A and B are shown apart, each in its own frame.
Chain A
């Protein structure tokens, strides 16, 4: 073989290796079987171009591009300013529905960020490639920390300011509990006294009787009696003083006669 041919082969070989490299590193993807999807965020917590995209935990694509779009509004009118374009393999595309949610998560020992897509339900309609959807903004750990820091500061401040009164409150609570304890001891001791026991016993019996009485008072018979008394009183009302006097006098006369 001529040396020129050999050099040519070497050149072709190295071009081939470069192409292979670009294929494995995802720069070249001639057999692309993926769709793109735009996800809007207001805060994307450290996601980068090339971060993996996962559906139900399985890697199905990567973040292609991150754009700032200050003038963008969702159809709902919400202003969302960060557009993340991702590619998703076709095999996972049908699992993503209108009601899918787009989270930014953390994984691995080195804290690598990835975009997790929750599968949607079958009832929701499928997405069209290139559609723009709203992602779930990840919680701002830094904000959380600074807020809880402020909260802890305030709590400490209150503690420091009211240290005296807090101490006295605690002391009084302590006294109160001591008193309650003493009272409880007394009550305990009292309940063991035989006289008291009899007293309580009687009280119980009395209340039983009272119950019986009131039950009878409320019975049908008693109601009839009330009715009768009422009628009697009504009839008696028409009688004035002299009539009664006369009646009693007549009755008295009659009584005397007999």
Chain B
């Protein structure tokens, strides 16, 4: 009992020190990234290449997934409303609101995490363990400026573009489903949507998208830079990066939704 307690205290202290070290590393990383964003040269070509990887190559997957998510949302909310008040005339309105305020941005960001975030971590991690990052430093290139900044900008822009498309396709598929299965004409759908949805919902979803878009490369590159040696290290880093940024997205979604609720 006594020895267990004695062992507990140092392990507690160790974890506090580790956490503190991690926090200082994170803040140093964030500070560095923020500083490097505004430092020339701006690597436009590399940014566009990353944007192509983030946005264009993810477009189809994301559109298909959010399309189905939107269909499920509208069918479920119609079912629930019929269960509760035997009337689903308001369903297009608040399903559209839910899609715009939550679904579009969050589903897009989670899909981007698993596709792009994992890719970034693997790329950076492999560069780390093959000492390419040290080589970059040796030839006078700043690794964060060279690797992180283009990915960050590309991912923010890509997430915003993808969310715009996702919102559009979500509402379109919701409209189709509500026409085919629930008997709303597109005009009634738009009218009910107009009653609830305002332009600020759309802008808020884009703000969310930008925040999630920034979160993904920051987390994945940070984890990538800390990759341990070996193929196993890259694998565990990738897993860790996807899990962390998914959790981050969910938490930031809550924080932003809470903040935006003050604007209504």
Point out residues on A near B: beta carbons under 8 Å: 3-4, 6-7, 10-11, 13-14, 17-18, 20-22, 24-27, 50, 59, 109-110, 112
Contacts and interface: CB of A to CB of B under 8 A. Distances in A.
A3 B48 contact: yes
Contacts of B168: 17, 20-21
A112 B161 contact: no
B89 interface: yes
Contacts of B199: 21-22, 25, 27
A140 to B, nearest CB: 25
B190 A24 contact: yes
B142 interface: no
Interface stretch (B35-43, B52-60, B124-132): B52-60
Given A4-B48, A7-B48, 5 more contacts: A3-B52, A6-B56, A10-B56, A25-B199, A109-B87
Contact of A21 (B55, B160, B167): B167
23 contacts: A3-B52, A3-B56, A4-B52, A6-B52, A7-B48, A7-B55, A13-B165, A14-B161, A17-B168, A18-B202, A21-B167, A21-B168, A21-B202, A22-B199, A24-B193, A25-B194, A25-B198, A25-B199, A25-B202, A27-B199, A109-B85, A109-B89, A112-B195
A21 B168 CA distance: 8
Given A21-B202, A25-B199, A26-B194, A10 B167 contact: no
Contact of A7 (B51, B89, B190): B51
Interface string B161-201: 10011011000000000000000000000110111011100
Contacts of A18: 164, 202
A97 to B, nearest CB: 27
A18 B59 CA distance: 17
A16 to B, nearest CB: 9
A18 to B, nearest CB: 6
A170 to B, nearest CB: 48
Contacts of A21: 167-168, 199, 202
B198 A50 contact: yes
A7 B52 contact: yes
Contacts of A6: 52, 56
A19 to B, nearest CB: 11
B90 interface: yes
A110 B198 contact: no
Nearest to B100: A21
A22 to B, nearest CB: 6
A109 B197 contact: no
Interface string B192-214: 01110111001000000000000
Nearest to B157: A11
Shortest beta-carbon contacts, A-B, top 8: A3-B52, A14-B164, A17-B168, A14-B161, A27-B199, A6-B56, A17-B164, A7-B51
A169 to B, nearest CB: 51
B49 interface: yes
Interface string B129-171: 0000000000000000000000000000000110011011000
Contacts of A20: 168
Contacts of B165: 13-14, 17
Interface string B108-122: 000000000000000
A6 B168 CA distance: 19
A17 B56 contact: no
A12 to B, nearest CB: 10
B59 A10 contact: yes
B161 A11 contact: yes
A3 B195 contact: no
B194 A110 contact: no
Interface in B198-249: 198-199, 202
A20 B90 CA distance: 22
Contacts of B164: 14, 17-18
B107 to A, nearest CB: 17
**Which of B85, B160, B199 has its CB near the most chain A CB atoms (within 10 A)?**
B199
B235 to A, nearest CB: 29
